[in-house]
C-alpha cells in the first residue's frame, strides 16, 4: 500500500468498523484493515439487544455489513489484510 491515510484502523469488528465510520464522517482519509472476514465476532452473535435503532434486537451478521456500508458511504476504504507493523511518518 503506497497511499497516505490520516487514520488506519486495525480490525474489522464492530469497534473497528465504527472507528472507520466516525473517522470518515469527520473528513479523515481512512483505511480499515479488516483481516480475512469483515465483522469479527459479530458474525457469531444471533441477537444484539439494546442496540440503538433496533428495538427488537439485530443479528450481528446483519449489523456488520450494514456498518461497513455506512462507513464506505462516508468515505472509508477497506483492505482485507492484517496489520504487520507500522511506523509514524513525521
Domain coordinates in residue numbering, the chain: 18-39+60-82
Cell 484493515 locates to 33
- Radius of gyration of the chain measured on its C-alpha atoms: 14
Helices (H), the chain: 14-25, 60-74
Question: What pTM, to 2 d.p., does this model score?
Answer: 0.85
Per-residue pLDDT of the chain (90 residues; tens, 9 = 90+): 668 999 999 999 999 999 999 999 999 999 999 988 898 888 999 999 998 999 999 999 999 999 999 999 999 999 999 888 877 777
Amino acid at each position: 500500500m503506497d497511499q497516505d491515510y490520516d487514520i488506519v484502523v486495525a480490525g474489522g469488528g464492530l469497534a473497528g468498523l465504527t472507528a472507520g465510520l466516525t473517522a470518515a464522517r469527520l473528513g479523515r482519509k481512512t483505511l480499515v484493515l479488516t483481516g480475512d472476514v469483515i465483522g469479527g465476532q459479530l458474525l457469531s452473535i444471533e441477537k444484539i439487544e439494546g442496540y440503538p435503532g433496533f428495538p427488537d434486537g439485530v443479528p450481528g451478521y446483519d449489523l456488520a455489513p450494514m456498518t461497513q456500508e455506512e462507513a464506505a458511504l462516508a468515505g472509508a476504504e477497506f483492505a482485507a489484510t492484517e496489520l504487520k507493523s507500522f511506523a509514524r511518518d513525521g
